[in-house]
């Protein structure tokens, strides 16, 4: 039997197993805990035939990761030429500075429900591009990590002393306040929740732009992989869990420990 004889339902199942990444794996924060290698996606299967490409391309683009401007520019051109691929994107990971192409991508990905945003020195330099891109999104779930703080915690800081990602984080703060669909937020290790972010989360929770208040599940993930609820079911104490401008997590002794 040749591949052309396989029913499309079976081809879709085969490609789904090879190309789909679970949200848990796709949105994994960097921690001190050991993790198995991420599942590699065998995109080469789409070269088998035009039929396999037609069936598999939406599966491949369902989870889209962007990490530099050249890649984002290429993806932006592809999505602009084929809107069906943009409509297939439901999980989006943005790392570093993806340039002006990022806003084109988010404009053509209206169904993004889960957003992973990793900011660093590069994304801080491209904060204007990031702000323009975030304005097009309305995610239900947000995972945010500040790598300038995580790298300090790991002792692997590659940038000049004092380098921060405040401009990029500021762009995120302004976007969060307008995300009327937001239901779940996870901050990565060492992420500092500023007063501005606290206000943005509160605006998102009460639905100030829609008048519809809702439950917002907010938590901070620690370097050891643990999760400390900040708001929603299981949250400890009142407010957003901010200690001295840093997200309050708890170590094994139960004592609060701030971000870096």
- H/E stretch holding 199: helix 195-206
Q: Output the pLDDT for position 60.
A: 84
- Edge-to-edge order in the sheet of strand 217-221: 63-66, 91-95, 114-119, 141-146, 184-187, 217-221, 227-231
pLDDT tens sequence across 8-49: 888 888 777 777 777 777 777 665 554 545 455 677 776 677
DSSP state, residue 251: -
| C-alpha closest to that of 242 among 175, 173, 191 | 191
pLDDT tens sequence across 130-153: 999 999 999 999 999 998 888 777
| C-alpha closest to that of 250 among 226, 219, 233 | 226
What gap in Å lies between CA 22 and CA 215, rounded to an integer? 24
Name residue 257's beta-bridge partners. 249
Give the mean pLDDT of the chain.
79
| pLDDT tier, 258 (very low <50, low <70, confident <90, very high otherwise) | very low
What is the value of pTM for the model shown? 0.79
pLDDT tens sequence across 55-110: 778 888 899 999 999 999 999 999 999 999 999 999 999 998 999 999 999 999 99
What gap in Å lies between CA 169 and CA 187, rounded to an integer? 12
194: left (phi over 0), alpha (psi -120 to 50) or beta: beta
Q: Are 174 and 204 in contact (CB under 8 A)?
A: no
């Amino acid at each position: 039997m040749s591949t052309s004889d396989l029913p499309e339902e079976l081809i879709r199942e085969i490609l789904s197993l090879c190309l789909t990444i679970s949200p848990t794996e796709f949105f994994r924060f960097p921690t001190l805990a050991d993790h198995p290698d991420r599942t590699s996606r065998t995109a080469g299967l789409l070269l088998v035939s035009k039929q396999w490409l037609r069936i598999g391309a939406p599966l491949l683009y369902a989870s889209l990761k962007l990490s530099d401007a050249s890649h984002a520019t290429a993806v932006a051109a592809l999505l602009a030429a084929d809107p069906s691929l943009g409509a297939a994107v439901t999980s989006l990971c943005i790392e570093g500075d993806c340039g002006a192409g990022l806003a084109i991508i988010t404009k053509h990905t209206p169904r993004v429900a889960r957003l992973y945003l990793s900011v660093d020195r590069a994304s801080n330099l491209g904060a204007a591009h990031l702000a323009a891109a975030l304005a097009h999104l309305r995610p239900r779930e947000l995972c945010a990590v500040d790598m300038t703080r995580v790298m300090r915690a790991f002792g692997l800081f590659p940038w000049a002393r004092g380098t921060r990602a405040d401009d990029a984080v500021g762009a995120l703060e302004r976007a969060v306040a307008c995300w009327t669909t937001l239901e779940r937020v996870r901050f990565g290790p060492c992420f500092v929740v500023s007063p501005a972010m606290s206000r943005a989360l509160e605006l998102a929770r009460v639905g100030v732009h829609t008048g519809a208040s809702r439950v917002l599940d907010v938590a901070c993930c620690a370097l050891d992989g643990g999760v400390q609820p900040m708001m929603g079911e299981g949250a400890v104490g009142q407010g957003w869990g901010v200690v001295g401008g840093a997200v309050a997590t708890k170590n094994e002794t139960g004592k609060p420990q701030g971000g870096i």
